[in-house]
Amino acid sequence: MSDPFFHSAPVPLTLTEIAALLGVPPSEAVASAPAVRISAVASLEEAGPGDLAFMDGARHVPALRETRAGACLVTERFAEHVPVGTVALRVAKPHAAFVTVARQIHAASLRPGSMFGHVGIAAGAVVHPQARIEAEVTVDPGAVIGAGAEIGTGTVVAAGAVIGPGVRIGRHCSIGAGVTLQHALLGDRVIVHPGARIGQDGFGYVGSAKGHAKIPQIARVILQDDVEIGASTTIDRGGLRDTVIGEGTKIDNLVQIAHNVVIGRHCIIVSQTGVAGSATLGDFVMLGGQVGVIGHVRIGDGARIAATSNVKDDVPPGAEWGGSPAKPMRDWFREVMALQRLGRGEGTGSGRRGVASEQQGQ
């Protein structure tokens, strides 16, 4: 059986081109080998002569000394540990520089492409005659484009995706395999990974003695420019107001965003998080994995919520909260330490000392 490499062919860069890309002056080592070509990125341990690696922590010094990478991004502090045969590229932030170069070499891996490996509308796609599709759009076999849908140039709609009636998709977007989009407006350069569900009913009912009456969900989902939605994430359309995901926000796999939620610009929401209806997140908010946010709360700009926390109160801008229920980080840590002391029987008459006294009295 062959051992395929699933990503598109990389775009090699010379050391001189890498130095220019990073805005750093070429070192003597670069000057001595300006035409050396870097064709991939790799870890210190796995890198070979044609690869670029990076190192930014003292614990990685042993791996740095043994690396076979053609070039390595390091700070000035660790440059002396770069072995002979590896070009040291001195930068202030090696990991950030590494990502900058990797985005150039492996640009095709930054967004999902056609699952069928073609350009244009495939014969097996079903496109309604009233849909409007600009030039250079790729639609894979099995995809369905509904009446009145509009898709901008450079967008890829992968196999099995369903684009509902009237949906608007901007330019240079990527809609992954099996995605469903309905009641949704997407800006430019939006990425929706496979299996995501966007624009379905919000979860709303009015209870009575006769049962649960469904509340009409008549608003939309709006994904602004440069939003990225992870695989199998669900975003419900609004009931009376739109569900909005702000520009540049990145949402991980397996996240639930309920109806009427408004999320600001450049937020990060990690996997298995749930945001309940009508909650509002400001700009640059970060939610760790498995965070729960109850309905109608507000999380201020720049706030950070620790993983597995349960947010039931408004969070001030810039705050760092954690715990269940979530509270300021200092208060949470104080409670955790107090519980640990109780578990060790410290600071209380009902601890080990108290138990021992009771046993002696029996």
Residue 282: partners with Cβ closer than 8 Å, 6 or more residues away: 264, 298, 299, 300, 301, 302, 303, 317
Residue 167: partners with Cβ closer than 8 Å, 6 or more residues away: 146, 149, 150, 181, 182, 183, 184, 185, 186, 199
Q: 151 phi and psi, to 5 degrees?
A: -130, 130
The answer to whether residues 311 and 321 touch, using CB atoms and an 8 Å cutoff, is yes
Query: Distance between CA atoms of 311 and 163, rounded to whole angstroms?
Result: 34
Query: Distance between CA atoms of 281 and 26, rounded to whole angstroms?
Result: 44
* 3-state DSSP helix/strand/coil % of the chain, to nearest 5: 20, 25, 55
Of the candidates 70, 112, 106, the residue with the CA atom closest to the CA atom of residue 89: 70
Catalytic residue among 95, 259, 266, 296: 259
The answer to whether residues 52 and 38 touch, using CB atoms and an 8 Å cutoff, is yes
Q: Would you call 259 a catalytic residue per the annotation?
A: yes
In single-letter form, the type of residue at position 173 comes to: C
The answer to whether residues 298 and 335 touch, using CB atoms and an 8 Å cutoff, is no
Residues acting as catalytic residues:
259
